Structure 1
């Protein structure tokens, strides 16, 4: 049985404005606390083989949450995220990094530029590492919609409730 988890959330948001008033949907219990997930009404959650898939009827956004046994996790969260980006998207470059305050917690925000099918993509990665576990969120958006990244990322992170 898993004793400790690292929570990795990869969220693809194609259009902004998906987040409405959040409603509780569930959560997962960590060895050192609980992380509860909130998202807008109308979303559907399905659990399959350690993945939670979030779908909206409008098909404007989707996300995947994966729970990983961190006893087998030998590298850091950022290294894991970047390895996934490299595997899924065939390359990336770091644009900038900054620490921001979300719900009174220090969050590291990393912006990546991806190359996907020869079209320029921008991505903003955000993670929080703390006693409740580690949350990683990545938003993918076309370069011409880059203005939407910040709003979507903040809405998603504000929708995650950290409980002790």
Structure 2
């Protein structure tokens, strides 16, 4: 059984949650739009989320040994595999819930990829992930103009 999670509609800064799931500890450049995108997305997705990130500048900035800004579970994927990693993670969660190994509750699976890993190298994996309607996941592609 597929469970979906309806995210709350956030209208304005005053109504945004106070909890942070992407915190200090990253090493992005000042004014990095990718870091802001990740911070706001995971804030909207909430604490019951698993974030996947493909190779790129955000992988390098977020995964220094023994240091990470992620409060939620995070996993690195290869450059062109964000779609297949999201599908596999959602399928694994669904199988574990069906076997009653974990509680059957909505868990958001969100995969990030840049313009190079998502639109160029990973377009086939993202297209294939869209054919698996039985799995609940989201693939976000950001264009940072650096092919990362």
TM-score under structure 1 length normalisation: 0.29
Higher helix proportion (structure 1 or 2): 2
Higher strand proportion (structure 1 or 2): 1
